[in-house]
């Protein structure tokens, strides 16, 4: 079955459908990772986005089997379901390419009702997005949908938990504010002996924090300036001097609450090989990233500093308060997919928590 891709600027491409035969719309973005598509497809930060994979083949190792890990979280996935609005690849491969393969990608997409398009020159499409910037797009299979902009409103309600959940017991106890959390963040805390109180982003996190030893603001989709109630609550929490750690969108929200401004990047950072540099030591790290907004360095508020910069474009990748236990990073120390070079940040956060 044929599918048509149309970008907001009029660029039109044609390919073949795999997965669910249905139309879709969202923001067209690209990811340059070579592996890790099950994790990427279930990353809530991709909500409302059509994901273009630059690696030329997808599907060759299937998807994880159904089941849960030792923490009761889905095996090998970053949320309970696929989060992207569509998938675009050069070649879809449906063979059995891994001895542990339990399910095929095509079957999984059909079960979840997600459309995929193969036979696309993804190198050309990626170069177009790099030259003209990320833009809205749609995949047409049957009826033509309207363009959809996930950054126009507060989309966190679509990806955040609907109820409070507890993982583990004992201390330290971390309030994990769910803006669309990747489950590997939960795993990273639990593996280090912390317990986790996972709370919806729009809950009364100020009151919930009173029984917790630290606060972690999760990743998530959309424009960080949209969740106004959350920003108000974080500004209140900044007066408590309780340790706060922000990851990805959580870093942007922390920055906004502290007094930074944020802005939309031309085409974002989405890959497992983004280089960042520690501004204090000069040491470089290879990181996993998935974001389209960043803190504006020239709006640096008093008392704050830049801790990491992107080695490719110089954008802000980390912020921290000089004296108080507040810090955030744009990249993903939990990886999944990607390198675990910066997993030590979870240890640093928990050490801050234990010292308070």
Q: Determine the pLDDT at residue 83.
A: 98
Q: Determine the pLDDT at residue 154.
A: 95
pLDDT tens for each residue of 338-352: 999 999 999 999 999
Q: Determine the pLDDT at residue 96.
A: 67
Q: Give the pLDDT mean for 295-322.
A: 98
pLDDT tens for each residue of 4-57: 999 999 999 999 999 999 999 999 999 999 999 999 999 999 999 999 999 999
Q: Give the pLDDT mean for 99-127.
A: 94
Q: Which domains does the chain have, with CATH numbers?
A: 2-140 (3.50.30.20), 156-355 (3.40.50.880)
Question: Cβ contacts of residue 221 below 8 Å, gap of 6+?
Answer: 44, 45, 46, 47, 48, 49, 150, 155, 156, 159, 180, 249
Give the C-alpha separation, 163 to 110, whole Å. Answer: 28
> Where in the sequence numbering do the catalytic residues fall?
248, 332, 334
- Per the structure block, which two tokens stand in for 8? 């907001």
Q: What percent of the chain has pLDDT over 90?
A: 95
Q: Determine the pLDDT at residue 101.
A: 79
Residue 98 predicted with pLDDT over 80: no
Q: Determine the pLDDT at residue 65.
A: 86
pLDDT category of residue 94 using cuts at 50, 70 and 90: confident
Q: Do 143 and 164 form a contact (C-beta atoms < 8 A)?
A: no
HEC sequence for the chain: CEEEEEECCCCEEEEEEEECCCCEEEEEEEECCCCCHHHHHCCHHHCCEEEEECCCEECCCCECCCCECCCCCECCCCCCCCCCCEEECCEECCCCCCCCCCECHHHHHHHHCCEEEECCCHHHHHHHHHHHCCEEEEEECCCCCCCCCCCCCCCHHHCCCCCCEEECCCCCEEEEEECCCCHHHHHHHHHCCCEEEEEECCCCHHHHHHHCCEEEECCCCCCCCCCHHHHHHHHHHCCCCCCEEEECHHHHHHHHHHCCCEEEEEEEEEEEEEEEEECCCCCEEEEEEEEEEEECHHHCCCCEEEEEEECCCCCEEEEEECCCCEEEECCECCCCCCCCCCCHHHHHHHHHHHHC
Residue 275 predicted with pLDDT over 80: yes
Q: Determine the pLDDT at residue 57.
A: 94
Residue 112 predicted with pLDDT over 90: yes
pLDDT tens for each residue of 323-332: 999 999 999 9
pLDDT tens for each residue of 217-268: 999 999 999 999 999 999 999 999 999 999 999 999 999 999 999 999 999 9
Give the C-alpha separation, 182 to 334, whole Å. Answer: 9
């Amino acid at each position: 079955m044929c599918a048509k891709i149309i970008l907001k600027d009029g660029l039109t491409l044609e390919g073949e459908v795999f997965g669910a035969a249905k139309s879709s719309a969202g923001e067209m973005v690209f990811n340059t990772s070579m592996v890790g598509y099950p994790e990427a497809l279930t990353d809530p930060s991709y909500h409302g986005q059509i994901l273009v994979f630059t690696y030329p083949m997808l599907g060759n190792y299937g998807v994880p089997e159904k089941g849960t890990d030792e923490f009761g979280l889905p095996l090998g996935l970053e949320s309970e379901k696929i989060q992207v609005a569509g998938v675009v690849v050069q070649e879809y491969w449906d063979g059995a390419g891994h001895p542990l393969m339990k399910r095929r990608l095509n079957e999984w997409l059909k079960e979840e009702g997600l459309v995929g398009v193969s036979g696309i020159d993804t190198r050309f499409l990626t170069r177009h997005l790099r030259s003209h910037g990320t833009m809205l797009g749609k995949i047409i299979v049957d009826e033509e949908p309207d363009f959809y902009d996930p950054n126009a409103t507060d989309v966190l309600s679509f990806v955040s938990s609907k109820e409070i959940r507890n993982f583990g017991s004992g201390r330290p106890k971390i309030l994990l504010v769910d803006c669309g959390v990747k489950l590997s963040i939960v795993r990273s805390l639990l593996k280090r002996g912390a317990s986790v109180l996972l709370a919806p982003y729009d809950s009364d996190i100020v009151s919930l924090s009173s029984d917790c030893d630290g606060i972690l603001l999760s990743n998530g989709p959309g424009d960080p300036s949209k969740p106004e109630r959350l920003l108000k609550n974080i500004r209140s929490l900044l007066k408590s001097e309780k340790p706060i750690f922000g990851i990805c969108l959580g870093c942007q929200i922390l920055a906004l609450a502290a007094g930074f401004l944020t802005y939309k990047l031309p085409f974002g950072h989405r890959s497992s090989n983004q280089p960042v540099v520690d501004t204090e030591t000069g040491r470089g790290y290879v990181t996993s990233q998935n974001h389209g907004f960043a803190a504006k360095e020239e709006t640096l508020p008093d008392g704050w500093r830049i801790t990491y910069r992107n080695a490719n474009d110089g954008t802000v990748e980390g912020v921290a308060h000089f004296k108080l236990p507040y810090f955030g990073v744009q990249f993903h120390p939990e990886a999944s997919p990607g390198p675990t070079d910066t997993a030590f940040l979870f240890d640093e956060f928990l050490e801050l928590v234990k010292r308070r």
